[in-house]
A = this chain, B = another copy of it.
Amino acid sequence: MSSIEQKTVSTIRLLAVDAVSAANSGHPGAPLGLAPAAYAVWQKMKFNPQDTKWINRDRFVLSNGHACALLYSLLVLYGYDLSVEDLKQFRQLNSKTPGHPEATDVPGVEVTTGPLGQGIGNAVGLAIAQNQFAATYNKPDYKLSDSYTYVFLGDGCLMEGISSEVSSLAGHLQLGNLIAFWDDNRISIDGDTAVAFTEDVVARYKAYGWHVLEVAKGDTDLEAISQAVEDAKKVTDKPTLIRLVTTIGFGSLAQGTHGVHGAPLKADDVKQLKTKFGFNPEESFQIPSEVTQHLSESVKKNQDVQAQWNKLFASYKEKYPELGAEIQRRIDGKLPEGWEKTLPTYTTSDKPVATRKLSEIVLEKIHADLPELIGGSADLTPSNLTRTTDAVDFQAPSTGLGDYSGRYIRYGVREHGMGAIMNGIAAFGANYKNYGGTFLNFVSYAAGAVRLSALSHHPVIWVATHDSIGLGEDGPTHQPIETLAHFRATPNISVWRPADGNETSAAYKSAIESTSTPTIIALTRQNLPQLEGSSIEVASKGGYTLIKHEKPDVILVASGSEVSISVDAAKQLESQGIKAGVVSLPDFHTFDKQSLAYRLSVLPDGVPIMSFEVMSTFGWSKYSHEQFGLNRFGASGKGPEIYKFFEFTPEGVAERAAKTVQFYKGREVVSPLNTAF
């Protein structure tokens, strides 16, 4: 290392250490070990701190998100909108430097990480998106997109199954634009990784089809790190894993031990470290001016790179005006004018259709107009009906199975990986609208990634078919009971369960137009009739009155396959002299966003309300006084027989509705929407 390199690396290290000490909380160990690699990589990356969303920037993902003091230090030093004052507020309430990197809070943080293994999944998604974007828009004379995705990951990420899923797929897809650094520091929270993690990582990644390199002295050998990046770039048909042997807590008196992983260094230790690195032991948050100067030169060079790219893109727009306008539209995050006009609508004369099939029809209709629409399935394509007829698979061209401009991704049986990859594709920008198909029950396998979609505001779409006991013979292992409750309880997720064709179109309209909320669309395997009174417009409110009475005796509120049964129940109740209104509530999240006046017009005071959904009733008391549902696991059998067995029939619903009317007779009934605070 040259003197300035040494000083810069030391500055990164000490800023991270000081941030953790100021907070008296955090993880100094990994930043101390990884600072050289971070510096080497960032010096090679192209990015512009003044234009953090530049589409052709290289992306950096810190999959071991607990090391975020490292990332924040880099952002400060490279001149992002993050200051030393922010670093001093590390891990404090409402600061810009939270305890794990949050993409929504901090400019320059590409994706939110911390839950282990997610970041490498996001990185694979970013690399897929870059490849797809490049294959779609690059021209022989215009290399508009040629960026790399770099990712740092720790032992913990490698132990998580999600890393296996995404790494296997990345190898299969031959993602040469992905460069991963494994921080091989042999320490995790339980101590030496020898207690639980003795696999041969290098051999494992080779088995996935990766190019694997090793840097023996990651703590100090900048040249070897730089060389490894260069070597990685030379192999264009494989992702690269660089095994970076480091010392956790490098330089600390407790280096190489678990003691430096997740707790501040002792005051004396910080002092000796600063002295050792040639810094003033009594001062904190020191940034030598020559370091600032050194890095600002690098930033300036990069800004020239972007300026050249801007010129290239301007010229591209002239030569390829249509494509150029399309790219610009996508960069601006706008959908094509009138895209929603192709969404299919239905009337009661249309035949009954499974909503999974209606979903397929939507995809067929909108696929051509939305080049940003990209999706796949976790090996359930013929069941999820997620592949449009003219789709091309996203595959390495050499396989003969598709090419990189393809918009259909064969995820394999890797739901969790798919979820994290979807987040990465969304994080790439360029207005990507990306969906993934699996059975509703197996979205739970991806719960860790779904939660991050919501937290990070990624508007990804889950095409979640086989949404209830109605799937039939596959039985309880496949029949969701708690799944909708789980995701409805999660902040910032739209969980649509459309009841017919118009509602399915409404669900997609909401999902595609969403810019910061992920969507799960729960779809039936079985056919459902087209409802009288549904439309894209009314369904877009998330809940609406399907059968209206001036003074109903009871209101039935239902979702999905239970709405038409409720309509039939209402007819039966009418013959018993009971006036039953019916409300369809396809998405709690969207309904909650409507005005209270509107919501109370749907679920008013003075009427007992009974919910009906063939799964856990948990949470339905938010909208109803009485709940009819299934608070046990399902059963294997023919779908209609299972419904009958549990009395999920018009008769069964009517019987309980009548009991509800009886129970509330003479009682004052307050709408569950009316609350004290």
Residues of chain A touching chain B, judged by Cβ–Cβ distance below 8 Å, are: 23, 25-26, 65, 91-95, 98-100, 102, 112-117, 155-157, 159-165, 168-169, 171-172, 188-190, 194-204, 206-209, 377, 379-383, 393, 395, 399, 401, 410-417, 441-442, 444-445, 447-448, 451-452, 454-455, 472-478, 481-482, 485-492, 608, 610, 616, 618-619, 621-622, 625-626, 628, 631-633, 635-638, 641-642, 645, 656, 659-660, 662-664, 667-668, 670, 672, 675-677
Give Cα distance in the complex from A663 to B194, angstroms.
60
Give Cα distance in the complex from A200 to B117, angstroms.
21
Give Cα distance in the complex from A381 to B98, angstroms.
24
Beyond A164-B164, A207-B201, whether A637 also contacts B412 by CB under 8 A is: no
Q: Does the CB pair A190–B381 fall under 8 Å? A: yes
Give Cα distance in the complex from A492 to B451, angstroms.
24
Q: Other CB < 8 Å A-B pairs besides A488-B618, A659-B676, 18 of them?
A: A92-B636, A95-B636, A155-B413, A159-B165, A159-B412, A159-B413, A160-B161, A161-B164, A164-B165, A189-B382, A194-B399, A196-B411, A200-B206, A207-B207, A444-B447, A445-B448, A481-B489, A482-B490
Q: A154's closest neighbor in chain B, by CB?
A: B413
Q: Does the CB pair B161–A618 fall under 8 Å? A: no
Kindly identify which residue among B159, B621, B632 contacts A621, using a CB–CB cutoff of 8 Å.
B621
Q: Does the CB pair A477–B195 fall under 8 Å? A: no
- Shortest beta-carbon distance, A323 to chain B, in Å? 29
- Shortest beta-carbon distance, A613 to chain B, in Å? 12
Q: A443's closest neighbor in chain B, by CB?
A: B447
Q: List 28 A-B contacts (CB under 8 A).
A: A91-B473, A93-B637, A95-B637, A98-B475, A99-B475, A99-B477, A115-B478, A155-B413, A160-B161, A160-B413, A171-B198, A172-B198, A188-B379, A190-B412, A194-B399, A196-B411, A202-B207, A203-B206, A207-B207, A416-B445, A452-B477, A481-B491, A482-B486, A482-B491, A489-B618, A608-B676, A663-B676, A668-B668
Q: Does the CB pair A99–B189 fall under 8 Å? A: no
For A608, what are the chain B residues with a Cβ–Cβ distance below 8 Å? 676
Q: Does the CB pair B667–A393 fall under 8 Å? A: no
Q: Does the CB pair B622–A156 fall under 8 Å? A: no
Query: Of A94, A112, A200, A412, which is in contact with the most chain B CB atoms at under 10 Å from its CB?
Result: A412
* Total identical chains: 2
Q: Does the CB pair A203–B207 fall under 8 Å? A: yes
- Shortest beta-carbon distance, A1 to chain B, in Å? 32
Give Cα distance in the complex from A559 to B442, angstroms.
30
Give Cα distance in the complex from A412 to B191, angstroms.
10
Give Cα distance in the complex from A631 to B441, angstroms.
24
Give Cα distance in the complex from A182 to B563, angstroms.
44
- Shortest beta-carbon distance, A208 to chain B, in Å? 5
Beyond A163-B161, A477-B65, whether A664 also contacts B676 by CB under 8 A is: yes
Q: A173's closest neighbor in chain B, by CB?
A: B196
Q: Does the CB pair B161–A416 fall under 8 Å? A: yes
Q: Does the CB pair A190–B377 fall under 8 Å? A: yes
Query: Of A112, A416, A489, A642, which is in contact with the most chain B CB atoms at under 10 Å from its CB?
Result: A489
Q: Does the CB pair B489–A92 fall under 8 Å? A: no
Query: Of A160, A189, A628, which is in contact with the most chain B CB atoms at under 10 Å from its CB?
Result: A160
Q: Does the CB pair B633–A491 fall under 8 Å? A: yes
Q: Does the CB pair B667–A670 fall under 8 Å? A: yes
Q: Does the CB pair B161–A417 fall under 8 Å? A: yes
Q: A645's closest neighbor in chain B, by CB?
A: B93
Beyond A190-B377, A199-B171, A677-B626, whether A99 also contacts B474 by CB under 8 A is: yes
Q: Does the CB pair A102–B164 fall under 8 Å? A: no
Query: Of A117, A190, A621, which is in contact with the most chain B CB atoms at under 10 Å from its CB?
Result: A190
- Shortest beta-carbon distance, A660 to chain B, in Å? 4
- Shortest beta-carbon distance, A34 to chain B, in Å? 18
Give Cα distance in the complex from A157 to B422, angstroms.
21
For A474, what are the chain B residues with a Cβ–Cβ distance below 8 Å? 99-100, 114
Q: Does the CB pair B98–A159 fall under 8 Å? A: no
For A168, what are the chain B residues with a Cβ–Cβ distance below 8 Å? 159, 197, 199
- Shortest beta-carbon distance, A252 to chain B, in Å? 18
- Shortest beta-carbon distance, A95 to chain B, in Å? 7
Give Cα distance in the complex from A162 to B481, angstroms.
22
Give Cα distance in the complex from A538 to B361, angstroms.
56
Kindly identify which residue among B197, B204, B448, B492 contacts A442, using a CB–CB cutoff of 8 Å.
B448
Which 10 A-B residue pairings sit nearest by Cβ, starting from the closest?
A: A161-B161, A93-B637, A98-B636, A663-B676, A196-B412, A164-B164, A114-B477, A485-B489, A489-B618, A621-B621
Beyond A159-B379, A664-B676, whether A209 also contacts B203 by CB under 8 A is: no
- Shortest beta-carbon distance, A131 to chain B, in Å? 16
Kindly identify which residue among B172, B379, B489 contacts A156, using a CB–CB cutoff of 8 Å.
B379
Kindly identify which residue among B454, B476, B663 contacts A98, using a CB–CB cutoff of 8 Å.
B476
For A381, what are the chain B residues with a Cβ–Cβ distance below 8 Å? 189-190
- Shortest beta-carbon distance, A457 to chain B, in Å? 11
Give Cα distance in the complex from A188 to B645, angstroms.
33
Q: Does the CB pair A619–B485 fall under 8 Å? A: yes
For A382, what are the chain B residues with a Cβ–Cβ distance below 8 Å? 189-190
Q: Does the CB pair B195–A491 fall under 8 Å? A: no
For A163, what are the chain B residues with a Cβ–Cβ distance below 8 Å? 161
Q: A188's closest neighbor in chain B, by CB?
A: B379
Kindly identify which residue among B203, B412, B447, B663 contacts A675, using a CB–CB cutoff of 8 Å.
B663
Give Cα distance in the complex from A522 to B207, angstroms.
39
Q: Does the CB pair A638–B93 fall under 8 Å? A: yes
Q: Does the CB pair B189–A199 fall under 8 Å? A: no
Beyond A25-B472, A444-B451, A473-B23, whether A489 also contacts B197 by CB under 8 A is: no
Q: Does the CB pair A626–B447 fall under 8 Å? A: no
Give Cα distance in the complex from A206 to B209, angstroms.
15
Q: A168's closest neighbor in chain B, by CB?
A: B199
Give Cα distance in the complex from A163 to B207, angstroms.
15
Q: Does the CB pair B477–A102 fall under 8 Å? A: yes
Give Cα distance in the complex from A567 to B383, angstroms.
53
Beyond A379-B190, A475-B102, A489-B485, whether A165 also contacts B160 by CB under 8 A is: yes
Beyond A98-B636, A455-B633, A618-B622, whether A380 also contacts B189 by CB under 8 A is: yes
Q: Does the CB pair A632–B491 fall under 8 Å? A: yes
Give Cα distance in the complex from A417 to B395, angstroms.
30
